[in-house]
Structures are given as structure tokens and as C-alpha cells.
Amino acid sequence: MAGSPGRHTPPQWQRGRFANWFVTVDHKRIGILYIATAGFFFLAAGVMALLMRTQLAQADLEVVTREGYNQLFTVHGTMMIFLVVVPVLAGFGNYLVPLMIGARDMAFPRLNAMSYWLYLFGGLVLLFSFFASEGAPRAGWTSYPPFSTYTTGVGQDLWILSLHILTLSSLAGAINFIVTIHNLRTRGMSWTRMPLFVWSIEVYAGLLILVLPTLSAGLTLLLFDRKLGTNFFIPAGDADGSPVLYQHVFWFFGHPEVYIMILPVMGIISEVLPVFARKPIFGYKAIAFSTVAIGFYSMLVWAHHMFTVGMPDFLNGFFMVSSMIIAVPTGVKIFNWLATLWRGNLHFDTAMLFALGFLSVFTIGGLSGIFLAAFPIDWQVHDTYFVVAHLHYVLFGGSILGVFAGLYYWWPKMFGRMLGERLGKLSFWTTFVGFNLTFFPQHLLGLLGMPRRIYTYRDDALWEAYNLASTIGSYVMGLGILLFVVNVVRSRRGVRAGNDPWLADTLEWYTTSPPPEHNFDKVPYVTSARPLYDLRRRLRERGAL
């Protein structure tokens, strides 16, 4: 199915040290390209965040211009979501799914390469929009019309173009994941023996396929309104369009997107916790099923982003209840993870620290979500810094901390060398403390009445105190990220990792680190969700270990 990699010899020019990265169709290299590119965009969008926090350190500062500020938060949000979290997870999925299911590659290696290159160019379109006439897009990552319709300059059009390209990229990637997972599992790997990370990628890919076309349609109509003078989203006398229609379309995509960004991270956590607790995951089936349940319900909750547009109360009530229902499978996961720690032999390597940090702060993000789901409370906190705090607790405290857990865990597999543990721990603590200092006070700011997306704020002692704390926190967090970058650079001379430095359970640790191009010479028959654990036990029984 995957052609026969390794059998045909590539021409000379493709074998150069750099050239082979441009022509590669190897899922591992594409995975690394995804992760590295997402890392680059993460640093870029992080710098934008620091600029915004500097502007907000005190009231009435003029670090950036007003339009500049609007461009920064628009590109920061769009970039972190579409160019960092979603693709870094596609990177993990690319690298890990074939290895975890004992396959040689993804089902469609060349389609896989196309997904990556579309992603890179789509990302560059957005990044370089800063040089467009009138600068980068400035209507927020949600780009609500009529504002985004009336915005002058080409920044907004580049935003639409960029998202169109990224949508194609993700769609092709998602189809590839599903075909791979359904068809290329090795002997013995039934659905209930599949690693939980692969389960999460299955749901991630399914959601992408279901909701991305909606986004594409909405963006296309927005482009028509801007360029062809249609009025799908603007009221214009007798040919009435509705700005609220765009919000429905956008959030029908946008809320599942939230779960697209967190489910694979939950998958990572479900892989990391048992290995460092030296236990099996508690309630494998409950965790796998809750992933599917979250994926399903995520498509029924979109209008909880729209409680203030004036929907009738039976709709408000419906979306409140459906949003709260999602808390149930999410709670199941959290309690199962906690139970995985119970009576374990907990090893606090850096990957585990990040996973435990995830568990702690993601819970806070989940709990603040309940306030937002209760629609009358949302009428107070909607579009304030409370929401900014909530979404960063979920997306940074959740997704990004989980991604770091994954990076520290799988780095030795990817590069054959360990990341430094001392620097790693320092990086974790700096990031974790900085994160909480940045975002916890933002809950309070929101409740005090500070709306989001403002370039300065009321000259009030308490507002300034919380904002200053938040800005200081963001620098501390930036330092933590910087320490990670140093760790990456130093890992070139890091300790060599064997095949399986963590004594882990899943198939990717069966092969060498890094794996050969064809992944495995031989794949053991899979007898449970922990094939390597079974293998070690059999070897021990035979006295070979």
C-alpha cells in the first residue's frame, strides 16, 4: 500500500543532508518537520504574546501602536491554533501512529508530504501578511463580520487564503490518519489493544474531516462578501444577510477545534502517566470511550460561544446542558488518570512532571469552563479576560504542557539522545510557575470587568497590579521556553538512548532509536494494549531478562 520504501534507490541529488528533507515521504521525517515548523511558529507567536503583555504591563503604555496591537492578537491567536497546536499534534501523530501500530509508514506517504508542505506555505502566508499593505489581519482569530468584511487592506484576505490552505493540509492529513489506523495495524492489534494515543488521533482525524469543510464554506462566503459584494453576513436592506450566521458556521467548526487540540494531548498523557507510574492505565476502555464521547458531544455545543447574541432561552439552555455533558467524559479521564497514579511507583522524570502539571492546570481550565457554560454567568464573563484565562488554561496549561510531556518522552526515540533532565526540570518549573502567574490573575481581571482585545485599560490600582503580575509571569514563562530551546541544542551531545530508555509499553520502543526507515525488521504479535510489557514478562519468565 505504501509503495515499497527502502527498495528503490533515490537519485543522487535527493540524498544530500538537506535535500533529503525536502523530498522525504518518510512519516518520521515528516513528523519531525511538522514538530520543528510548529516549534518555529510557537516561538514567533510567543514573541507576539510577550509584546502584547509588555503593552499591557501598566495602563496607557505605548509599546505598540493600536492597529499593531490588533494585528498582534489576531495573528497570535490564529497562529497558535492553526500553525502550532493542530500541526504539532499532526507531527506527533505522523511520527507515532505507524510506529505504535507496527506499520512501515502512513497509508499514503506522498499525500503525507503534501500535507506538510501545504501547512508550511499556508503558515508563511499568514506570517508574511505583516508585510502586506495595511499590515497583517486585524479582526481577531474569529474574524466576525461585518467587521472583517469592512476591514481594509489585504491582510484579511491573506488570513482567509492561509486558512484555506491549512484546511486542505489538515483534511488530507486526517484522511491519511484514518486510512492508516483502519488498515495498517499489525497482527493482534485489535481496537481494544490500540494505544490510547492512536485512539485520540482517530477521533482527532474524524473531527477534522467532519468540521473543516464548514470552516472552508464560511471563509469562502466571507471572501465573497469582501470581494464580490455579496451579503451573506451583512444586513443590507431587502437582501438580508446575518452576522450571526457566520458565528454559527465558525463555531460549528471552532468548538470541535478545541477538542481537536486537546484530545491527542490527552492521548499523550494517557501514554506518559502509566509508564512513569509503572502501572497499566486505569480504565483503558473508559478512557478510549470517553475520547469518542467527547468527540461526539463537541459537535453539539458550538453556540455556547454565542450566548450574548440573543438566542432564545431554550437554545441557551440546550447549549448549556450539552456543554456541561462534556464535563462528564472529561471528568472520567481526569479521575482515571489520578487512579493511574494510585499505588504506583512514580518516577518524576521531566516528561512525568509536565504530565502532572497538565493534570493540575487542565483541571482548573475545565472547572472555569463550567462558569462559561452556565449562560447567565457567561453574560458577565463573556469576551473578558476570564475567557482569555480559561482558554489559556486549556490550551497552554493543557495542550502545550502535554506537548512538552510528549517531547521529553519521545525525544530519545526521535533522535536517539536524551534531553537533559536537570535543565528539563528547571524548564518545567519555570514554565509552570510563569504560566500560573500569567493567567491566574486574568480570571480576576475579567471578573473586574476588563474586556479582551483592548490595547490599554482603566487606570485603576487593582487592574494595574494584576496586569503587571501577568506580564511578569509571561516573561518567566518565556524564560522556561528558552531553557527548553537550550536543552534541545545541548541534546545533540546528550546521553545516548537505547531502544527503550523508559521501559515503556508500546511498540515504538521495540525498534531502534531513531528507528530505521522501514521502522521494524520484525513486529512482535500484539497480545494486549501493552505489547512490550508482555514481552518483558515472557522474557523474565524464561529467565532471559
Rule CB under 8 A: which of 129-158 touch another protein? 139-140, 144, 146-147, 150, 152
Whole-angstrom Cα Rg for the chain: 23
Examine residue 358 and tell whether it contacts another protein (CB under 8 A): no
Which of these is catalytic: 169, 384, 399, 431?
169
Of 465, 468, 479, 482, the one binding another protein by CB under 8 A: 465
Q: Which is nearer to another protein, 60 or 213 (CB)?
A: 60
Residues in 208-247 at the binding interface with another protein, rule: CB under 8 A: 234-237, 240, 242-244
Examine residue 122 and tell whether it contacts another protein (CB under 8 A): no
Options 19-27, 398-406, 418-426, 458-466: segment touching another protein (CB under 8 A):
458-466
Is residue 79 within 8 Å of 126, Cβ to Cβ? Answer: yes
Residues in 271-310 at the binding interface with another protein, rule: CB under 8 A: 277-280, 282-286, 308-310
User: In whole angstroms, how close is the CB of 419 to another protein at the nearest point?
Assistant: 17
Examine residue 538 and tell whether it contacts another protein (CB under 8 A): no
Nearest CA to 132 among 223, 77, 78, 71? 71
Which of these is catalytic: 257, 349, 505, 508?
257
Which of these is catalytic: 76, 390, 413, 530?
76
Residue 200 annotated among the catalytic residues of the structure: no
CA-to-CA distance for 509 and 410, rounded, in angstroms?
Answer: 9
Which of these is catalytic: 200, 330, 431, 506?
330
Is residue 218 within 8 Å of 253, Cβ to Cβ? Answer: yes
Cβ count within 10 A of residue 544? 8
Q: Which is nearer to another protein, 190 or 380 (CB)?
A: 380
Residues in 55-114 at the binding interface with another protein, rule: CB under 8 A: 66-67, 70
Cα 475 to the chain's mean position, in Å? 22
Q: Which is nearer to another protein, 144 or 296 (CB)?
A: 144
Enter the C-alpha cell of residue 209: 474531516
Cβ count within 10 A of residue 172? 17
Residue 76 annotated among the catalytic residues of the structure: yes
Residues in contact with another protein, total (CB under 8 A)? 100
Nearest CA to 354 among 424, 264, 258? 424
Q: Which residues contact 181 (CB under 8 A, 6 or more apart)?
A: 97, 101, 194, 198, 201, 202, 205
Of 15, 110, 453, 490, the one binding another protein by CB under 8 A: 453
Options 76-84, 175-183, 260-268, 324-332: segment touching another protein (CB under 8 A):
324-332
Enter the C-alpha cell of residue 448: 473586574
Which of these is catalytic: 452, 455, 491, 500?
452
Q: Which is nearer to another protein, 5 or 449 (CB)?
A: 449
Residue 259 annotated among the catalytic residues of the structure: yes
Nearest CA to 159 among 93, 275, 76, 242? 76
Nearest CA to 87 among 34, 145, 29, 146? 34
Report the b/e string of 122-139 with b at 16+ CB within 10 A: bbebbbebbebeebbbbb
Residue 150 annotated among the catalytic residues of the structure: no
Residue 466 annotated among the catalytic residues of the structure: no
Residue 62 annotated among the catalytic residues of the structure: no
Which of these is catalytic: 34, 141, 455, 457?
141
Residues in 417-446 at the binding interface with another protein, rule: CB under 8 A: 432-433, 436-437, 440-441, 443-446
Residue 521 annotated among the catalytic residues of the structure: no
Nearest CA to 417 among 501, 329, 469, 494? 494
First to last CA, the chain: 37
Examine residue 47 and tell whether it contacts another protein (CB under 8 A): no
Residue 133 annotated among the catalytic residues of the structure: no
Site string for another protein, 330-349 (x = CB under 8 A): -xx-xxx-xx-xxxxxxxx-
Residue 270 annotated among the catalytic residues of the structure: yes
What HEC string does 463-489 produce? HHHHHHHHHHHHHHHHHHHHHHHHHHH
Q: Which is nearer to another protein, 179 or 448 (CB)?
A: 448
Nearest CA to 501 among 413, 404, 414? 413
User: In whole angstroms, how close is the CB of 129 to another protein at the nearest point?
Assistant: 18
How many CA atoms within 13 Å lie on the side-chain side of 518?
10
Which amino acids are annotated catalytic?
76, 105, 141, 169-170, 255, 257, 259, 270, 304-305, 330, 333, 452
